[in-house]
Structure 1
Amino acid sequence: MSWKAYLALCAFSLVLRPAHAYGIARSSTPCNNSPSLCSRSYDNVTYLGAHDSPFVRDASTSYSASGNQYYNSTVQLSAGVRLLTAQVQLQGSALHVCHSSCDLLDAGPLSTWLAEVRSWMESNTNEVVTILLVNGASASVQELAQQYEAAGITTSLAYTPTGSDAQSQEWPTLQSMIDSGKRLVNFVDYIGDNSDAPYIMPEFSYIFENPYDVTSASGFVCGINRPPSENGSTPTQVIAQGVMPLMNHFLYQDIGLGIQSPDVDAIDTTNAPDGGVGSLGYSASQCSEQYGRAPSFLLVDFFNVGPTIDVADRLNGVSSPVGRTSAPA
């Protein structure tokens, strides 16, 4: 064989071999909308979160004052949100996602909402998503697991931790989670023994939160509010143990009779990527300085205002995100 023929054959074989054999796909394919995040461990990324994700303020709910978002969970995910929170309540004997009470705002069965998330993830295979449930129904792990099974999540997507708490858990990279297919991380604030469904993780074994019941722009602080057992500790102490910080940043107003509602009149300031006291950008900078690292999660109302995703990108060092579909302002 001549040298020309040999070189031509080598070139042809390079075309046939998959790009990932040379590391090309891994460096150019985005994870959570950016190739730069693929090599980072799950706990070393900042995720934008939609507070009370299923509770929408639009025509479908008659623009309910209990709605915390203008667009549904599918739109949130497509726009870059990677943490979805929801409240679980009892509707009769069934587990629904309801805002405080199913008489107030009922977004339907928990399994239906979980199936919506699963459907989006099946169409977006390079994304790692986190769900955090507030267990207002005091449901058991077994009852919650039934909802995950009904949604078709347990065997296909749910990530199971390697350690029972933050100190023993070694988080994989986003790329390895995507490669394994186990890329939906699930937390519940208060649950009992989860040995029957270890993919349903007790939130406060891995996460701490700053205060969430804030009614003035000056009320946003970075200290530990939950779990109560850590109230006497500093954020840097628990972060040193591997616990991830979740930064609540949503403003409420009293509307009478002890009822609070999202303060939509102040939302442009609350969700501003830049600005002074009360803005998301300011609070994120303050908490990053106090924590010695960026928050793992930024939890906001009306995520598309701001837009809040700009703050998460800045904390992640992402300048050119790809694959997002922005929701209208």
Structure 2
Amino acid sequence: MLGLSALLPLLVVPFASAAPKSRATTCNGHAELCDRSYGNVTFMGSHDSFAYSDDPLALARDQEVDIPSQLDLGVRLLQAQSHMNGDDLHFCHTSCILFDGGKVVDYLTVVKTWLDSNTEEVLTLLFTNPEAVSLTDVWKPAFDDSGISDLVYVPPNLPMKQSDWPTLGDMIDSGKRVVVFMDADSDPSQVDFILPEFDMIWETPYGYTDDSFPCSIDRTSNAQSTADHMYMINHSLNLKIGDITISDPGEADTTNGVDSIVAAADKCVSYSEDNTYPSFVLLDFVNLGDAKAAVDKLNGF
């Protein structure tokens, strides 16, 4: 017969293993966001996030600071355009000759390192796939090799309505706190975590040269009603040099300011269900202006 000292470990271990997992107390910087649905939060986004340079003569750049710096500034959606460069998938601006941001797997590894150090953050990745590169043979291995596959959220059904997404707290508690969208040629039957953007998000036009940023629905799909979509406002001011349109860093302080962003968001509210603000505000030169304060205001802070 076992003595009491021998029985104690057997009695204690089951209770210890059944201890509840601690819940997130801060989500994307605010305790209040833990109970708010992913579809009812406004996130600051970085357009062409890989295309960063502090060289003012690098006309193809759309950012000035690197990925960790963008994330530290409050960016919670990273957008990037992909192209094959030889045998490897890279993030490039229109062409890898014009601006080559390096291998996708290296980019994702940098993001994963940041996520590992910031465990109470939900992040969205929005990638383009203009060359219809294989999801299973090229894209998924990049996610797997970087480790981000362990963090990706897979919805229980598609398309997800704006009102059906889990709360940020639930996503963080589950460890599935990275949402991945692709603008074209996604197929969840092949890779279940790469989600079709326009089935769940509509966008305003891009390439604005009008600083009043009039709102209209530019890209979407008929997978569900407009009101059931989340939406993204493209809020970058551009200038034309001959036939070339480039982002204008000289106006970024104003464009990325609270007044400009909130005014643009107000113009789009009527398109949404329950008059909600945009889920994503996509910006160039995120280190300029005061976009974080604008997004906080849209979130009610």
Tell whether the structures are fold-level matches, with TM greater than 0.5. Answer: yes
| Structure 1 unpaired stretches of 5+ | 1-16, 319-329
Q: 1:273 to 1:147 in 2, by over 3 A?
A: same
Residue 169 (structure 1) shift: 8.2
1:227 alignment partner, one of 213, 220, 231: 220
CA distance in 1, matches of 2:265, 2:118: 28
CA distance in 1, matches of 2:71, 2:186: 29
Q: 1:192 to 1:298 in 2, by over 3 A?
A: closer
TM-score for the superposition, normalised by structure 2: 0.87
| Structure 2 unpaired stretches of 5+ | 1-15
| Contact map agreement 1:129 1:183 (CA 8 A) in 2 | yes
Residue 268 (structure 1) shift: 2.2
Identity of aligned pairs, percent? 40
CA distance in 2, matches of 1:158, 1:169: 20
1:251 alignment partner, one of 221, 233, 237: 237
Structure 2 residue aligned with 1:323 = none
Post-superposition Cα deviations, 1:161-195, rounded to whole Å, max 9, x if no partner, equal 11111349831111111111110100000014321
| Contact map agreement 1:54 1:86 (CA 8 A) in 2 | yes
Secondary structure at 1:106 match in 2 = strand
Q: 1:290 to 1:191 in 2, by over 3 A?
A: closer
CA distance in 1, matches of 2:111, 2:199: 24
Structure 2 residue aligned with 1:77 = 71
Post-superposition Cα deviations, 1:12-51, rounded to whole Å, max 9, x if no partner, equal xxxxx9xx97x9x758x21000001000111010000011
2:188 alignment partner, one of 174, 194, 213: 194
Secondary structure at 2:119 match in 1 = coil
| Contact map agreement 1:69 1:303 (CA 8 A) in 2 | yes
TM-score for the superposition, normalised by structure 1: 0.80
Structure 1 residue aligned with 2:140 = 145
1:265 alignment partner, one of 250, 258, 262: 250
| Contact map agreement 1:42 1:172 (CA 8 A) in 2 | yes
One-letter identity of the residue aligned with 2:226: V
CA distance in 1, matches of 2:57, 2:115: 28
Residue 63 (structure 1) shift: 4.8
CA RMSD of aligned residues (A): 2.3
CA distance in 2, matches of 1:63, 1:201: 36
Structure 2 residue aligned with 1:304 = 287
CA distance in 2, matches of 1:121, 1:129: 8
Residue 221 (structure 1) shift: 2.1
CA distance in 2, matches of 1:282, 1:184: 29
One-letter identity of the residue aligned with 1:48: M
Structure 2 residue aligned with 1:55 = 51
Residue 259 (structure 1) shift: 2.0
List, as ranges, runs of 4+ consecutive aligned residues in structure 1 with deviation greater than 6 Å.
Answer: none
CA distance in 2, matches of 1:315, 1:243: 18
CA distance in 1, matches of 2:276, 2:104: 34
